[in-house]
Amino acid sequence: MGVPAELEDEVARINALLRPLAKRRVDLTDPDWQARMRQRRPLDEANVREEAETALGDLLDLYEREEEPTRAAIRTLLNHYDSFTWATGLPTGRTPEAFRRELLYLSARDQGHDTRDELVTLHHLREEAHEAGVDLRPILLEVAELSSTKDKYGMGSIRDILRAAAG
């Protein structure tokens, strides 16, 4: 099936609006540069929050229910439209379903541009789930089965990483 053309077009449009924000320079000589970075809300600055959140939700719904060719197409799309991927996220939640969505998004990003960043994200999700009393193991194993087997950067595939995190 692949990604519906209208959904890919919407992600491309949002990506184009976010690109200048994602690529803007950061003044590292400013002593408050880190605080300024945390305060920025690129989806709001580009006035695309609602559309971006809807598009991400639609992508994750497809990723969850469709077969591998569609999941692979979503991985490719998220890699290609990296400003969209950089700016989007999911609402914070402490329920099994919220953690599942976060893991689906992690799987769909397929290690992003740096596996180490995704490992930090995964570590944080595991800590949050533990604090919330959510057993993440079955969710990790379930999402691992939907994940890529490609070892992109020599640190294992995202499927292997999720399985290892499940213990």
Both 73 and 110 in a single domain?
A: no
Q: Is the dihedral of CA 81, 87, 91, 95 positive or negative?
A: positive
Contact of 128 with 94, CB cutoff 8 Å: yes
Contact of 108 with 63, CB cutoff 8 Å: yes
| Structural domain count of the chain | 2
- Give me the mean pLDDT over the 126-143 stretch: 97
pLDDT on residue 100:
97
**End-of-domain residue from the set 69, 89, 109:** 89
94 alpha carbon, distance to own chain's centre: 17
Q: Who has greater pLDDT, 91 or 145?
A: 145
Both 6 and 58 in a single domain?
A: yes
Q: Give 8-44 pLDDT, tens digit per residue.
A: 999 999 999 999 999 888 778 878 778 776 777 899 9
Both 69 and 9 in a single domain?
A: yes
The domain of 146 spans: 92-167
**End-of-domain residue from the set 89, 117, 132:** 89
Both 79 and 100 in a single domain?
A: no
Both 36 and 8 in a single domain?
A: yes
Residue 46 has pLDDT above 90, yes or no: yes
**CB-count burial class (<10 Å; 0-12, 13-18, 19+) for 142:** middle
Both 7 and 68 in a single domain?
A: yes
